[in-house]
Amino acid sequence: MSESLYRKIFETTPTAFLLVGAHDRAIVEVNEAACNLLQTTASELVGKAVDELCDQPAGTRKVLEILCSTPGACQVLALRDAKGLQKTVALQAVQLTGVKQPTMLITMNDANRYLQSERSGERPTNETLELAALVYQHSDEGMMVTDADTHIIAINHAFTRLTGYTEADAIGRTPALLRSGRQTDAFYQEMWTALKTIGTWRGQLINRRKNGEEYAERLTISAVRDKEGRIQRYVGLFSDISEKLRYDNAVWTQSNVDALTALPNRHLLRKRLQQRIAPANARQAKLALLTMDLDGFKEVNDTFGHGIGDQVLMETARRLRNCVRASDTVARIGGDEFAIVLNDLADPQTSNALSLVERTGKKIVEAIGEPFLIGDERIYLSPSIGIAIAPDDADTVDALLSTAEQAMHAAKQSGRNRFQFFTRALHEQAVRRIKMIADLRDAIDSGRFELAFQPIVDLENGALVKAEALLRWRHPRHGIISPAEFIPVAESTGLIVLIGDWVFRQAAQWRLRWEAIAPAGFQIGVNVSPAQFRLDDALPERWIRHCEALGLPRSSLVIEITEGLLLEAGEQSKERLGAFHAAGMQIALDDFGTGYSGLSYLRSFDIDYIKIDQAFVRDMHRNRSDEMLSEAIVAMAHKLGIKVVAEGIEEPAHRELLARAGCDYGQGYLLSRPLTPESFEALLRDGYAVSEPVALCLT
């Protein structure tokens, strides 16, 4: 017989055929009858493992092993077609020889045809009776047959295996012996209505085995009628899907629930918001989204460890749940950030929706403000909360999350431990910030940054001894933008690392250029942001190598840090400051007196210079307290072997008082404004006279 004829027989025979790989159980080829039986297409079946057609893959593998090892054996298996309908099929298999890869030819016969023939009143043939008996005794599915009054008249072996009830236990009783009590009377009423009207019912329920153990069951019940349409039998087919449901629940939980706090995660929060925003829009109802993070939580982790931090997060989740109604949602959406959804603010029970939101915000602030008692530790934290209302502030999930987070950041910037409603002004501020981020990136690429240098002079003799490198951004539309505007944005986005590198390299290049004309020991101070220390692991090593590559003495550059860096400093920051100092670069502490760093910090770090903040200098000639504070700072620093630079010298009286107090160096508009590199170079070349402040400047 030709190959083409074999192919024709395979494709057109009414018997369902599957060609399956003997090792991997993958379907290689199917015929049209198999596609019809399983209600799908060849392309959907080919490549799929036979195991995937059954709710119980382990049982399928066992059946296939029997078929392969026992020639002529017939096994019964419950499959599910592409529409989800249950099919009970009788399988036979033969191992093909003379082919390149080990392959099985599997035939499938629909065992349900027996029931169909009985319902239609047709007299079953011996073949169908044998097939029905085979199905009944060997099916992996539990089967029971009842009379019209629902008394059990027959069960199969799988029924006993799945439920624990033998024929002696079950025959004569009703299926109620399996009831767990988990389904309501209304559930069973709906089931019997379907059976009496359309003759079949399919669904899931929880039943109980003989030993009292509950299990999840997928059940199909069919009513068998005689020629006159009277119900003679009920046939029930069921399988235990407990394991599958446990797996499905585990997958769902992993995808939707935060493992630490058992709260909904960001994914589930988004789904719930999506479900509730649309109805809120349609009914003109309102819902509120509150986003909250814990102020100072990072320090808890750094100080006490993540174990204590996790306990704080779990306690935070408990407190938040106690602040809201049962119908509301509390979610953990990442790190120490939580979200609260207050639903149905237009409910008749809530006369003032905004009042409810405000009360909830206050409750949360108070609840989180209570001390966290973790073991022997007493930890104090505060929340920053942003609030957005849908649909007033936003009518989509993404927009609502964005507006709430904008409000949360505003609460944090306003001092923390508070809640902030979203406003249009916050939105405009966020838009400006996004534009600034884009412009900053363009400025880095397009070379729009510039340096200015402000002289620092010896207050005893008026000699120019140092300069501070100051960053300026020349925007193509807005002109010069102050660092106070763009540095916080650069820090929050990480762009400060690239910008800081540019400043250091430019300052080093100009210092090298001025080597021949600068006074002996001349230094340039370069400001370093605390964010650079946090974000840039290789900062000291890279800058030190750059000086070596230029042949520039490392002592000619001073690293200027703020008190904020000392206050936030961890071991890494200490190590990086130590690396600079060990390489010969001196350290200056900028804005001293504004961050409450204290003497302990000066003892812990190698500080070479203190820069008195201009806030103490500005009124010292009119305010005796400021004068005394400045004198005390100078005296304290000298006792510790630290030199002092006074910033903000704008009047002769400032210079005189500071010089009298013994302050080493001065910086300010009286002495010189910040200069362009070219103007500063001219100053070095021509000589500096303290009595003639320089006017050329870059502001």
Tokens found for residue 408: 């949360």
pLDDT in tens, 337-386: 999 999 888 654 445 666 889 999 999 999 999 999 988 889 999 999 99
Q: Which phi and psi angles does 646 have, rounded to 5°?
A: -100, 125
Confidence of residue 72 (pLDDT cuts 50, 70, 90): low
In a 3-state reduction of DSSP, which class is residue 57?
helix
How much is the pLDDT for 588? 93
Cis peptide before 391 (omega within 30 of 0): yes
305 CB contacts (<8 Å, ≥6 apart)?
none
Sign of CA dihedral 201, 205, 208, 209: positive
Which contiguous run of DSSP H or E holds residue 248? helix 242-256
**Rounded to 10 degrees, what is the CA torsion of 673, 676, 679, 685?**
100
pLDDT in tens, 247-295: 888 889 999 999 999 999 999 999 999 988 876 555 567 899 999 999 9
> Is 682's pLDDT higher than 90?
yes
Q: Which has the minimum average pLDDT: 285-294, 570-579, 619-628?
A: 570-579
pLDDT in tens, 437-460: 888 998 888 889 999 999 999 999
Q: What letters, b where the CB count within 10 A reaches 16 and e where it falls short, cover 182-203?
A: eeeeeeeeebeebbeeebebee
**Rounded to 10 degrees, what is the CA torsion of 613, 619, 621, 625?**
-80
Average pLDDT over residues 292-314: 91
Distance CA 662, CA 677 (A): 30
Average pLDDT over residues 117-143: 54
Query: What residue spans of 323-464 are helical by DSSP H?
Result: 353-369, 397-413, 424-446
Query: Which conformational region is residue 511 in: left (phi greater than 0), alpha (psi within -120 to 50 degrees), or beta?
Result: alpha
Cβ proximity of 356 and 290 under 8 Å: no
Distance CA 460, CA 468 (A): 19
DSSP helix, strand, coil percent of the chain (3-state; round to 5): 45, 25, 30
